[in-house]
Chain A
Amino acid sequence: MSVRAVPRTGAIALPRERRPLPVRKFGSYVLLAVVSILVAFPLLLALSYSFMSESEIATFPPPVLPMHPSLDNYQKVLGAIPIVRYLLNSFIVSTAVVIGQLITASLAAYAFSFLVFRGRQVLFFLFLSTLMIPWEATIIPNYMTIRTLGWLDTYQGLAVPFMATAFGTFLLRQAFMQIPRELWDAARIDGSTTFRFLREVVIPLARPALGTVAIYGFLSTYNQYFWPLLITNETLMRTTQVGIAQLRFEESLRWGLVMAGVIMVAVPTLALLVLGQRQLIRGLTAGAVKG
């Protein structure tokens, strides 16, 4: 651990500015790289296993990198389960939830930020109170509702219950309140209607917050397991998560195939993480800082 001794001398030599010395910097990079790989290791291993044959996976000691990487498992998983259909289902449902949430949450957030009416406070607390109710505690009556509606094995059954979001409403309200009141007053004088102001001024100005709500809604819907497991029975109506999990309950577990499925299912959300990291972080930290 020669690295540890260096920052001390560094601190003495440069008491004011903590400019990292090259050696210290190098040490930081090595440490960061090792830890990052450790944290991401299960995921990297899944990727690696998805390129291995079943016989290679069964060798001892357990392999880490494929000797003869091949795409066989991806081809096999396409034949074993209708994974393209699962992906399609998940995309349809998640997109529907995102659109629904954006509409209901912007309308509600608009009422909570720009409109003045009696009972607003009470209604806002009513919205927030839904955050205290775990979905799992209401899952039995919700299952019954969906069954009564004849919505088992349907997209609407998977999507409609999640089309409102208290967290998203809260986030959008915060964003809407940043919009200067003068714009509102000017619009009123110009004779703009309430709804037109929302559509033409508020929505365009709040685009980053809408992005956060959209990414959040997409990720959480796409990654759902319990609800789609309950309300879908038909193979063709399953979502990605339930679909790949079925592979686990097969007679003989084909690990290479399972890992190829896992990667195919995880790629869309990982891409979303890379593309929408800023929005995602904003959403998570809004919860932590503002409560």
Chain B
Amino acid sequence: MRWTARDLRSLAVGLAYLAPALFIFVVFVFIPLGRTFYLSFYNTRSTGLVTTFNGIDHYIDLVTSQTFRSGLVATGLFALYTVPLGIALGLILAVLLNQRLRGISVFRTMMASTIAISAAVGSLIWLLLFNPSLGLLNYVLSLAGVRGPEWLIQPTIAIIAVSITTIWLTMGTNIIVLLAGLQGIPEEIYEAARLDGARGARMFTRITVPMVSPSLFFLLVVDTVAVLQAFTQIHLLTRGGPVDATRTLVYSIYLDAFQNFQFGFASAESVVLFVLVLILTLIQFRFVERLVHYQ
């Protein structure tokens, strides 16, 4: 495997084409990732200037910190409330949209509209809906005889409010991905099942769900990663409160780094976030690889 002059020349040409993208990645992704690890072992001044080596103390602080542990719980609850329900709703709506009807694209656009809606816009609208006196949500609940909660003030409810907002925001993506999955199912499979006497619900659980399972799995990972990274909804709805009930991992990073100026400690939290996302994406890559081999 010796490098000939031609090898080197073609590598140089290749690198020349890759250089602009590579430059951005090195400066804004790879080096910062390395620096996050580095900073997590150091103390810093409030300006971010590195002062003293701190070993793994930040990580020990993390493990023993009550705030951090409750933050992980909040993150977990957020994912638990958001992801399965969001995907299930998305699947139901996608099935509904997967009909051959004139004008169906109008409905598809309407239901997929949340794709284009930013988290900031969505959060501001839901902030109004959750408003105890002006919001429609509690009024509708009161019509049904239910006394609506103080959505953003009760700790156990606030995380649900953030989850509802997030489910709505991710609805468009979920629908489109699942609709594409549904459209990939060959019509013959349904024909055959129908000949065998399969009907509605059975058809759904025995054919539709297994056949779109790659899309379901894809969304499971992508939506969980999105929840791990969610910042805007929390910033605009609850600011991590009440009493840290919605202080997820990302929100902790923000508070510790940019409000408390504990860059070293916040970097240790960032490392945890990185590891979580890494594990999730690796699982997905493995799974996709297996799927490809099946075919």
Which A residues contact B (CB, under 8 angstroms)?
11, 20, 25, 28-29, 31-33, 35-37, 39-40, 42-43, 45-46, 49, 57-58, 60-62, 64, 103-105, 107-108, 110-111, 115-120, 123, 126-127, 130-145, 147, 160-161, 163-166, 169, 194, 219, 222-223, 225-226, 229-230, 241-242, 244-245, 247-248, 255, 258-259, 262, 265-266, 269-270, 272-274, 277, 280-281, 284-285, 287-291
Contact = CB atoms under 8 A, between A and B. Distances in A.
Given A31-B96, A288-B177, A244 B120 contact: yes
B124 A248 contact: yes
Contact of B235 (A58, A161, A225, A273): A225
B146 interface: no
Given A138-B270, A140-B263, A284-B176, A269 B93 contact: no
Contacts of A223: 117-120
B151 interface: no
Interface string B266-295: 110011011001100110110010011000
Contacts of A116: 10
A37 B254 CA distance: 36
A155 B184 CA distance: 42
The 3 A-B pairs at the shortest CB distance, nearest first, are namely A291-B288, A223-B118, A164-B24
Nearest to A119: B11
Interface residues of B, number: 101
A241 B118 contact: yes
Given A28-B99, A136-B253, A273-B115, A33 B107 contact: yes
Nearest to A58: B134
B39 A140 contact: yes
A62 B126 CA distance: 14
B258 interface: yes
Contacts of A45: 125, 128-129, 136
Contact of A265 (B13, B118, B236): B118
A290 B292 CA distance: 9
B250 interface: yes
A115 B13 contact: yes
- B23, B29, B122 interface centre (most CB from chain A within 10 Å): B29
Given A118-B7, A132-B277, A273 B134 contact: no
B228 interface: yes
Given A273-B113, A288-B215, A248 B266 contact: no
A145 B126 CA distance: 35
Contacts of B274: 133-134, 137
- A134, A229, A241, A245 interface centre (most CB from chain B within 10 Å): A134
B27 A137 contact: no
Interface of B: 3, 7, 10-11, 13-14, 17-18, 20-25, 27-33, 35-36, 39, 48, 93, 96-97, 99, 101, 104, 106-107, 109-129, 133-136, 139, 168, 171, 173, 176-177, 180-181, 184, 194, 214-215, 218-219, 222, 225, 228-229, 231-232, 235-236, 250, 253-254, 257-258, 263, 266-267, 270-271, 273-274, 277-278, 281-282, 284-285, 288, 291-292
Contacts of A270: 113, 116-117
B32 A111 contact: no
Contacts, number: 289
B156 to A, nearest CB: 23
B173 A284 contact: yes
| Interface SS, A side | helix
Given A32-B107, A133-B33, A194-B13, A140 B257 contact: yes
14 contacts: A35-B96, A45-B125, A107-B21, A108-B21, A111-B14, A111-B18, A120-B14, A123-B14, A131-B281, A140-B257, A223-B120, A230-B258, A258-B128, A273-B115
A163 B28 CA distance: 10
A255 B133 CA distance: 13
A140 B31 CA distance: 12
B7 A142 contact: no
Contacts of A107: 17-18, 20-21
A289 to B, nearest CB: 7
Given A20-B101, A141-B33, A273-B115, 18 more contacts: A35-B93, A39-B114, A60-B139, A104-B21, A107-B21, A111-B17, A117-B10, A118-B11, A126-B25, A130-B25, A133-B277, A142-B32, A145-B27, A163-B24, A169-B21, A262-B125, A273-B113, A281-B176
